[in-house]
Amino acid sequence: MAPKRSLNKNGTDNINRKSLRKNVSDLYHSLMSMRWSDFFVLTICVYIVINLFFGTLYFLLGPEGLSGLVHTNGLDFFEECYFFSVQTFSTIGYGRVSPVGLVQNILVAIEAFTGMLSIAVMSGLLFTKFSRPISKVIFSEVALITSHRGQRCLVFRMANSRLNQIVEATVTVSILMSTKTPEGQYLRVQHDLNLIRSRSLFFTMSWLVAHIIDEKSPLFNKSTEDLDAVDAEIIVSVLGFDETYGQTIHARTSFVAQELVFDKQFVDIISRTDGLLNIDLDKISTVH
């Protein structure tokens, strides 16, 4: 059975929201958060559908509404209507086929305006998606409950995989646990975890994040079975300022009970060669 989690490993939420009304802002958010492949497929589909719609209207108005046609019936005529729509939508205007009559010219004007508006919207979305800063912070696949600096700690590792600096980086760690109230309701209760170091002036390499498990910690004397019984999920959030983009970036991940490893240590991933520090990101999750 897959572990219960509200946040996926890649930082996206794992929540299905029902009975919510959609509006224009939701559409914009969906387009902005859409994968690049899905965005281009959607753009191509919208482009084809709009031109099919206007091409069909030209076809229904008949061949007498367009001059310069080579074919005036059947699929060949529809093909000419479709590509005339493409030329009008894109404001290409080769000139061989042109509208005749008031209705056809009004339709051409509407499509030309629709084309300019659509291209402006899609160009704006494309530029915004391209210029939006996306962090490349990677996290270890597991978190450890082990000895660290002589104390029992929860530790995990993260690193900046880009060749830039994240300035004033801060990390926040919380744990979610399911709790049953006296009224019989189940709640997801959040407990903040105090960290040995929660801030880094320059986040350029790796960062070993550690939480001391003392009597005040919600992890104190907890086993994997104990944490799994309450659907425990450790939520990690990183916030910082990307010096390249000049904007704030963030990254998130989570660890569930099955991703906690007891009494192990992370292998060393930093070495020095000819005065330079090297970091092996392929071993960020390797333990011994």
Confidence (pLDDT) at 164: 81
Per-residue pLDDT, 21: 64
**24-131: CATH number:** 1.10.287.70
CATH, domain 137-283, list 3.40.50.150, 2.60.40.1400, 3.30.470.10, 3.50.30.30:
2.60.40.1400
Residues of the chain with CATH 1.10.287.70: 24-131
Tens digits of per-residue pLDDT, 7-44? 888 888 777 766 556 655 578 888 888 888 999 999 99
The band of 116, judged by pLDDT with boundaries at 50, 70 and 90, is very high
pLDDT reported for residue 121: 92
User: In the chain, what are the helix, strand and coil shares in percent, each to the nearest 5?
Assistant: 35, 30, 35
pLDDT in the model for residue 104: 92
132: DSSP letter:
S
> Angle between the 74-89 and 36-61 helix axes, to the nearest 10 degrees?
120
Percent of the chain residues past pLDDT 90, beyond the cut: 61
| Mean pLDDT of all residues belonging to the chain | 89
Contact in structure between 109 and 117 (CB atoms under 8 Å): no
Token code pair at residue 178: 């399911």
The stretch 65-69 carries a mean pLDDT of: 89
CA distance 285 to 72: 67
C-alpha 142/C-alpha 257 separation (Å) is 10
Partners of residue 208 on adjacent β-strands:
157
**Mean pLDDT (whole number) for 63-90:** 91
The average pLDDT across 217-241 equals 94
pTM listed for this prediction: 0.77
Q: What is the pLDDT of residue 275?
A: 78
Residues 6+ apart with CB under 8 A from 287: 142, 144, 261, 264, 265, 266, 267
Distance CA 279, CA 206 (A): 8
Q: Where in the chain is the domain with CATH 2.60.40.1400?
A: 137-283
Question: What is the predicted pLDDT for the residue at 22?
Answer: 61
Give the pLDDT band (50/70/90) at residue 92: confident
For residue 100, give Cα distances in angstroms to 61, 212, 230: 11, 79, 72
pLDDT, position 1? 46
Cα dist from 50 to 38, 54, 97, 121, 124, whole Å: 18, 6, 19, 14, 19
pLDDT above 80 (res 2): no
- What is residue 3's predicted lDDT score, i.e. its pLDDT? 56
pLDDT at 9: 86
Between the alpha carbon of residue 75 and those of residues 57, 67, 80, 194, the distances in Å are: 14, 17, 9, 70
